[in-house]
Amino acid sequence: MIKNKIWLSPPHMGGSEQKYIQEAFDTNWIAPVGANIDIFEANLENYLGSGQVAALSSGTAAIHMGLILLGVQAGDEVICQSMTFSASANPILYLGATPVFIDSEIDTWNLCPIALEEAIIDRIAKGVSPKAIIAVTLYGVPYKVEEIRTIASKYNIPILEDSAEALGSSYKGKRCGTFGDVSTLSFNGSKIITTSGGGAIVTKTKELKEKAIFLATQAKEKAPHYQHCEVGYNYRMSNVLAGIGRGQMEVIDQHVKSRREMHEFYVDLFQNIPGVSVFSVPNTDYFANYWLSTILVDDTITNGITNEKIRIILGEENIESRPLWKPMHLQPIYCSYPYYGSAIAESLFNKGLCLPSGSSLSEEDRFRIKSVLVNLFNP
């Protein structure tokens, strides 16, 4: 008997999404402009508590746009967390700039402040001051916000906060998506809320938001004919898809709660299994949406059961799990670029696994996951 697939992080509709899509049809705003976009942006601004939001076609487009707003140009160097999804780094290459990769630290798995400062000092000594720092909030756990900001300020380098995975997370009561000089969000199918595909840029000022929208809609100057003084992009979100986003904003609190319950479920499950630790925030300053629940497996303690073995056994039961993000400095496309750090990200990658974490997982799904894991560790 083939059991239903349990996905790692499937889309989870709230119920009113189609009503807002219908509104777009009823008003014929089947376009990258319309009320759904305006309201979705306002909802996000309200939720974040500070910042100005422009809805774009993807998180990747938002990072690209963010780097443009920060003035990154061909030949510049941009610092980027190595352990992340490739979409954090690819826009550096779109702009003809050079990525400089930084290791993770063990508490949040994000940018290591020590390696970051070492890199900045070394790049400056080599004659180039980095133009921006891309700081990621992996799996919904905030990076060391204060340490990273202190270093960025000391060398006067702006931060692009890639919070694609962290809508709903916060640090000292302030929401992720508000810590960068510009910040970015993603609403791809697997993220905490989705518009099927989509993203947003969060800016500090209304002027910058308007600049982002201007560039994202082909940089059309004010004139009756098509007049262009800058390179434009076609990066605006569709008003149809923003309708999905509106519906999703009504259930975001529930999504965060459910993801956190999945994390709690794994903490309980593994607490008596030596050698497996569930990744959790370092202290109460950090509040994680736990977009994905992840574990580290020490196979010297688990009698040789590795992360890969767990992945395969789950897969045999039609349960999806995934290795952690493979660090960029180990990727064929990026391994020739500068890298600073020791081997923290690499060791996390070698030992880690992402487990099913969707906000729509049922009690029965959890029972299936638990049975497989308990059988594996206590046969």
Ligand X SMILES: *Cc1c(COP(=O)(O)O)cnc(C)c1O
What positions carry a catalytic annotation?
191
Binding residues among 164-193 for ligand X as defined by CB under 6 A: 164-165, 186, 188
Read off the tokens for 347. 């060791």
Nearer to ligand X, 157 or 354 (CB): 354
Nearer to ligand X, 176 or 208 (CB): 176
Of 67-75, 142-150, 160-168, 352-360, the window that binds ligand X (rule: CB under 6 A) is 160-168
The minimum distance between CB 240 and ligand X, in angstroms, equals 17
Residues near 165 by beta carbon (within 8 Å), at least 6 away in sequence: 136, 137, 138, 139, 140, 186, 191, 192, 289, 291, 292
Nearer to ligand X, 201 or 372 (CB): 201
The minimum distance between CB 322 and ligand X, in angstroms, equals 12
Nearer to ligand X, 59 or 356 (CB): 59
Read off the tokens for 266. 């794994």
Of 159-167, 171-179, 278-286, 338-346, the window that binds ligand X (rule: CB under 6 A) is 159-167
Q: Which of 53, 83, 87, 212 binds ligand X (CB under 6 A)?
A: 87
The minimum distance between CB 201 and ligand X, in angstroms, equals 12
For residue 311, which of 351, 263, 346, 266 has the smallest C-alpha distance?
351
Kindly state whether residue 104 participates in binding ligand X, applying the rule CB under 6 A.
no
Of 28-36, 67-75, 81-89, 115-123, the window that binds ligand X (rule: CB under 6 A) is 81-89
Binding residues among 25-64 for ligand X as defined by CB under 6 A: 58-60
Residue nearest to ligand X (CB): 59
Nearer to ligand X, 67 or 269 (CB): 67
What's the CA gap between 354 and 379, in Å, rounded?
23
Residues near 284 by beta carbon (within 8 Å), at least 6 away in sequence: none
Read off the tokens for 275. 């050698």
Tell me the per-residue interface mask from 113 to 142 with ligand X, x by CB under 6 A, - otherwise.
Answer: -----------------------x------
Of 21-29, 84-92, 203-211, 344-352, the window that binds ligand X (rule: CB under 6 A) is 84-92
Tell me the per-residue interface mask from 199 to 218 with ligand X, x by CB under 6 A, - otherwise.
Answer: x-------------------
The minimum distance between CB 264 and ligand X, in angstroms, equals 22
Contact 180, 161 (CB under 8 A): yes
What's the CA gap between 179 and 202, in Å, rounded?
10
Query: For the chain, where are the alpha helices, taking DSSP H only?
Result: 17-27, 35-48, 59-69, 90-94, 113-125, 145-154, 206-216, 239-249, 252-270, 307-316, 344-351, 363-377
Place of tokens 């040789």: 304
The minimum distance between CB 128 and ligand X, in angstroms, equals 25
The minimum distance between CB 321 and ligand X, in angstroms, equals 17
Nearer to ligand X, 186 or 203 (CB): 186
Nearer to ligand X, 53 or 164 (CB): 164
Phi first, then psi: give them for residue 129, nearest 5 degrees.
-90, 125
- Which amino acid does the sequence have at 127? G
What's the CA gap between 379 and 372, in Å, rounded?
10
Read off the tokens for 202. 């969060």
Q: Please, what's the b/e burial string for 275-301 (b: 16 or more CB within 10 A of its CB; e: otherwise)? A: bbbbbbbeeeebbbbbbbbbbbbebee
**Total residues binding ligand X (CB under 6 A):** 14
Q: Which of 9, 52, 84, 170 binds ligand X (CB under 6 A)?
A: 84
For residue 294, which of 328, 322, 326, 327 has the smallest C-alpha distance?
322
- Report the interface residues with ligand X, using CB under 6 A: 58-60, 84-85, 87-88, 136, 162, 164-165, 186, 188, 199
